Structure 1
Amino acid sequence: MKNAGLAAVLSFFFSGLGQIYNGEIGKGIAFILAQFINALLMLIIIGFITYPITWIFGMIDAYKSAERINSGQSTQGV
């Protein structure tokens, strides 16, 4: 069983950490890389828009993935 709230909080503090907690290592690494790229994009202003969007999406995804894992549904193809 995965704690959905904990997954969201972990993603709040560090993007991708909630996905790694859920066992979705590849997805977690993808979020970490995306946020690194977004941080670089802040140099040309667009990162100030993309960073928070990706950050919020990561928290929501971590929460919903944990709920799917707990309900027994597969996370394949998500």
Structure 2
Amino acid sequence: MRNPGTAAVLSFFVPGLGQLYNGRWMRAIFWFIFTPGLWLGTGGFFGWVAHVVAAITAYRYARRHPHPEFD
């Protein structure tokens, strides 16, 4: 069973890791590429936004889909 809190914390510290925890490989790859690009592209100004958004999306997905076998 997926824990939404775990998914959120993982994605907050490493955007994309919570998506991997949820089994969403393509979303994880997106966050792994997008977040460093945002940090570098804005000189670190908006990089934190990616961490927050990734955490929220990982939390919501885990909350709506608690059982991996039903995906």
Report the TM-score, using the length of structure 1 for normalisation: 0.78
Quote the offset at 1:42 in angstroms.
3.4
Number of equivalenced pairs: 70
Q: Which is higher, the Rg of structure 1 or of structure 2?
A: 1
Any unmatched runs of 5+ in structure 2?
Answer: none
Q: Percent identity?
A: 37
| Structure 2 SS opposite 1:8 | helix
Structure 1 unmatched ranges of 5 or more: none
**1:39-54 map, 5 Å:** 39-43=39-43, 47-49=44-46, 51-54=47-50
- Superposed CA RMSD: 2.0
Q: Does 1:38 align with 2:38?
A: yes
Please say if residues 11 and 58 of structure 2, whose CA atoms lie closer than 8 Å, have aligned partners that are also in contact. Answer: yes
